[in-house]
Structure 1
């Protein structure tokens, strides 16, 4: 067994802050027909393009059968579509549809409106600090892909 990596107090504080903010974002997320996993899958397809079904389940932390069921539901709702993989006829590629893009955009807009209300409670300096942190946050997200 490998020893646990050394974690600084600053890293622990960042993790705790992210956890708290994640909980806030979840509360700001509109309740609707999309589960968190469905919305995350659609965002992944929107951001990264079509994926093989076998590439989608691990990043979402669910089993392959659960992802198959989710994609079936998204397909029935017109939010995603499956096609044969052009490089391997045995595999399936999942893509987001225009309706899926609209659902993601709506969810994002509702959350942005709610977050905007919270941002008004910040001082101009705090707001600038949040804006200045965005490139680093984007890079962290990219590193986790």
Structure 2
């Protein structure tokens, strides 16, 4: 079976446009949310490791991290493997931001999914393993 990758790309882009704009309790810019979500999923990491996942230059990311630390959303701790380096991790408030946004998106997406037909829901459920595999392949490439 041939996959129309151009159409798939458009569909994913359109879905992402809607998904990232689902209403949430607190508003943050994309870079802030990306850093918070990366630290939530990836655990404590060095700034240099965070640079690999974010689409920011080091001065901009350093400034953003300082602001998030000042806002109480993340903290720096010495890296136990290298006392000269610092690990960045979410504070309880930072985890709460990510968790509340996730819960809000689940609720909003549930409302939309409930409006699909049974066949559409089955197709959507069947696509999740494939999308997870694509995500894993992309992570391996990075």
Answer whether TM exceeds 0.5 for this pair.
Answer: yes
Which residue is equivalent to 1:90? 84
CA 1:41–1:29: 2 relative to 1, 3 Å = farther
- Following the alignment from structure 1 to structure 2, what is the Cα–Cα distance between the partners of residues 139 and 9? 15
- Following the alignment from structure 1 to structure 2, what is the Cα–Cα distance between the partners of residues 24 and 33? 15
Superposition TM-score, scaled by structure 1 size: 0.85
Count of residues in correspondence between the two structures:
138
Structure 1 residue 29: Cα displacement? 4.3
Give 1:135's match in structure 2, choosing from 126, 129, 132: 129
Is 1:125 aligned to residue 130 of structure 2? no
Superposition TM-score, scaled by structure 2 size: 0.87
Q: Secondary structure at the match of 2:34?
A: helix
- Following the alignment from structure 1 to structure 2, what is the Cα–Cα distance between the partners of residues 73 and 101? 16
Structure 1 residue 30: Cα displacement? 2.1
- Following the alignment from structure 2 to structure 1, what is the Cα–Cα distance between the partners of residues 106 and 138? 23
Q: Secondary structure at the match of 1:51?
A: coil
Deviates more, 1:27-36 or 1:116-125: 27-36
Runs of 4+ with deviation above 4 angstroms: none
- Following the alignment from structure 2 to structure 1, what is the Cα–Cα distance between the partners of residues 25 and 59? 25
The superposition leaves residues 11-68 of structure 1 with CA deviations (integer Å, 9 ceiling, x where unpaired) of 1111111001000112214263422221121111111211110111232111111111
Conserved in 1, the CA contact under 8 Å of 2:25 and 2:101? no
C-alpha RMSD of matched pairs (Å): 1.8
Gaps of 5+ in 1: 1-7
